Chain A
Amino acid sequence: KNQVEQSPQSLIILEGKNCTLQCNYTVSPFSNLRWYKQDTGRGPVSLTIMTFSENTKSNGRYTATLDADTKQSSLHITASQLSDSASYICVVSARSDYKLSFGAGTTVTVRA
């Protein structure tokens, strides 16, 4: 069964600080990995999408890394802002499969 596990489940950081979220997956054969940001009660919004050959991708203050050999990804948030408070979901797609495997998400709370 394809699985996506995220850690930590939640974290609290002070405004201006950095943080890193982790994602481990067993999805195979791998197609791509996405990170989404989901504000409470809203639909997820895509931050990055990486294929097998990509090791890192940035979107503003968000930087995602991918190690396809160890099946691990991370999302680094730099200089956090209050608006970064949200759930961050890791989503992995298997090749030739229409379904996406979602992690449970990491809830990030940024405090002033």
Chain B
Amino acid sequence: DAGVTQSPTHLIKTRGQQVTLRCSPKSGHDTVSWYQQALGQGPQFIFQYYEEEERQRGNFPDRFSGHQFPNYSSELNVNALLLGDSALYLCASSLGGAGGYEQYFGPGTRLTVT
């Protein structure tokens, strides 16, 4: 039973560029949430996808967008990268929603913007 997987593991981009991060949920899960975790901070909620739609969004600008595919995998896209976007990006999967259900986190993608 595969857990949550994310790719790539590490990524280095230049300011102004665009990046796409990928996440495959745990087998049987249908909901994917994305988080940004700056060094020394707790994760910050970006958004959540369920049934291929964005169901809830945190306080992040429109430069952050996402997508969920019919197989429940998800992508996080960030446009016009800023130095402040450097962080560990975590994907978490759950069944039916985050509030009352266990979330399983992936290993994260470390994004460095130079």
Stretch at the interface among A37-45, A57-65, A67-75, A77-85: A37-45
- State in angstroms the CA–CA spacing of A31 and B102 once bound together: 12
B21 at interface (Cβ–Cβ under 8 A)? no
Chain A residues with CB under 8 Å of B33's CB are 98, 100
Interface centre among A4, A43, A96, A104 (most CB of B within 10 A): A43
Given contacts A42-B108, A43-B106, A46-B104, contact A98 B97 (CB under 8 A): yes
Residue tally, chain B, CB below 8 Å to A: 28
Chain A contacts of B58 at CB under 8 A?
99
Which residues of chain A have C-beta atoms less than 8 A from B55's C-beta? 98
The closest CB in chain A to the CB of B42 belongs to A102
Neighbouring B residues of A104 by C-beta, 8 Å: 40-42
Whether B105 sits at the interface, judged by CB under 8 Å, is yes
Report the Cα distance A32→B83, complex, angstroms: 35
User: For chain B residues 79-114, which have a beta carbon within 8 Å of chain A?
Assistant: 88, 90, 92, 97-100, 102-108, 110
State how many residues of chain A have any CB contact under 8 Å with chain B.
24
Q: How far is the CB of B14 from chain A (nearest CB, A)?
A: 22
Q: A42-B107, A42-B108 are in contact. Are A93 and B42 (CB under 8 A)?
A: no
Q: Is the CB of B102 within 8 A of A93?
A: no
A-B contact count (CB 8 A): 66
In the complex, residue of chain A having the shortest beta-carbon distance to the beta carbon of B88: A41
Cβ of A90 to closest chain B Cβ, rounded Å? 9
Instruction: Please name the residue on chain A nearest to B3 by beta carbon.
Output: A43
A99 partner, pick from B42, B56, B88, B90, beta carbons under 8 A:
B56
Contacts A44-B90, A98-B48, A99-B58 given; does A105 touch B42 at CB 8 Å? yes
Q: Does A95 contact B (CB under 8 A)?
A: yes
Q: Is the CB of B99 within 8 A of A94?
A: yes
Instruction: Please name all residues of chain A whose beta carbon is closer than 8 Å to the beta carbon of B41 when the two chains form the complex.
Output: 104-105
Bound state CA distance, A96 and B100, in angstroms?
8
A13 close to chain B: CB less than 8 A: no
Other than the known A93-B98, A99-B99, A100-B99, what 13 A-B pairs have Cβ atoms closer than 8 Å?
A32-B99, A43-B108, A44-B43, A45-B105, A89-B43, A94-B99, A97-B99, A98-B97, A99-B98, A100-B45, A100-B98, A102-B35, A102-B45
